[in-house]
Amino acid sequence: MTRSIDEITNGRRMRRNRRFEWNRRLVRENTLTTNDLIWPIFLIEGENRSEPVKSMPGVERFSVDRAVKAVKEAFDLGIPAIATFPDITFEKRDALGSEVLNPDGLINRATRAIKEAVPGIGIITDVALDPFTETGHDGILRDDIILNDETVEQLCKAAVIQAQAGADIISASEMMDGRIGAIRDALNEAGFTDTAILAYSAKYASAFYGPYREAVGTDKMLKGDKRTYFMDPANSDEALHEAALDVAEGADMLMVKPGMPYLDILRRIKDEFQMPTFVYQVSGEYSMIMAGVEKGFLDRERAMLESLMAFKRAGADGIFTYFAPEVAAILNGQKSPGSTMDH
């Protein structure tokens, strides 16, 4: 070496701040807490029933009574909110996704039961039609086209019904144009001016939703793909336009989905709008980590926590994650490092 290291770095040795755990803690820029977690859960009909989602090791679908128990535990762990997704029987699915308008449908019954038993937890329900249509599409399909405006009408009605059942946040995960403003109007007209709207602003046409589609039973039904309404993974500026429209139309919070492959989008949206910004660690991300863990290639706890910290670093305020109860237990010190807990 012709120059010494101190000549090269001007005496700046970055490793000084990494020497001890106490000084790594002092200079840490981001923290993950239970306040960041949103737990998505899958619902099924029946009583005292749960069934495993095969492609998501450790994840189960719950009947409403079991969901209530699970949500109570989540609340006790400090998780601020849950999000529900139903797996209804195939006979109830039709072209228009009519079951989404049933005030006593699975989602709405779960909302009422959870509200009553666990009033302190936030409930997020979704108006997308995919669990209700016979095509597995998020909107109404006619002549090979997903109809935008007709779908939005359906979403507006669903939003009011979900708000009536007690949902605190209505989420729109189907990427139809104009739906945020239309849902805001519908909620306001029905007197739900305080019900919030979470816009899935940048939702990509992603391979990482595969396991979710098994969880809600759309895997075998889906004809074609969702590329005429979800975003092209190649685009980034377009996500900012989507988010700008959602903000202008009255969204209370924005979402980027999937998470890990789209950290750049998360950062851009957070920087541009400084809105509450959520990210969804989707089923495929969960299953990828779990598959690595099951094969012995990854350390479960470290992989899980690192994947969530990456979202905080990229600007997320809230994280939808199937790991939520396990992570909350770890963060609360209720779970010893390295142990395994299935939720």
Catalytic residues: 203, 257
Options 53, 118, 282, 330; binder of ligand PBG; rule CB under 6 A: 282
8 A C-beta contact, residue 175 and residue 231: yes
Output the smallest distance, CB 212 to ligand PBG, in A: 3
b/e code 128-140 from CB counts within 10 Å (16+ = b): bbbbbbbbbbbbb
Size of the site for ligand PBG (CB under 6 A): 11
- From start to end of the chain, where are the E strands? 37-44, 50-52, 60-63, 81-86, 122-126, 140-142, 145-147, 169-172, 196-203, 253-257, 277-280, 318-320
> How deeply is 92 buried, as exposed, middle or buried, from its count of CB atoms within 10 A (0-12, 13-18, 19+)?
middle
Site for ligand PBG in 219-238 (CB under 6 A): 226
Tell me the residue nearest to ligand PBG as measured from the CB: 212
Site for ligand PBG in 105-164 (CB under 6 A): 128, 130, 138
Options 39, 75, 192, 212; binder of ligand PBG; rule CB under 6 A: 212
Task: Tell the residue number behind the tokens 């809600």, with chain if given.
Answer: 216
Site for ligand PBG in 295-314 (CB under 6 A): none
Binding-residue pattern over the window 163 to 182 for ligand PBG, x denoting contact by CB under 6 A:
----------xx--------
C-alpha closest to that of 288 among 329, 323, 339: 323
Nearer to ligand PBG by Cβ, of 117 and 303: the residue is 303
Site for ligand PBG in 182-211 (CB under 6 A): 209
Nearer to ligand PBG by Cβ, of 76 and 177: the residue is 177
Nearer to ligand PBG by Cβ, of 100 and 247: the residue is 100
Half-sphere exposure of residue 139: CA atoms within 13 angstroms, side-chain side:
27
Task: Tell the residue number behind the tokens 């685009």, with chain if given.
Answer: 235
Nearer to ligand PBG by Cβ, of 97 and 166: the residue is 97
Residue 173 CA, distance from chain mean position: 9
Site for ligand PBG in 55-94 (CB under 6 A): none
Output the smallest distance, CB 301 to ligand PBG, in A: 21
* Helices within 190-236 (DSSP H only): 210-215
Instruction: By CB under 6 A, name the binding residues for ligand PBG.
Output: 128, 130, 138, 173-174, 209, 212-213, 226, 282-283
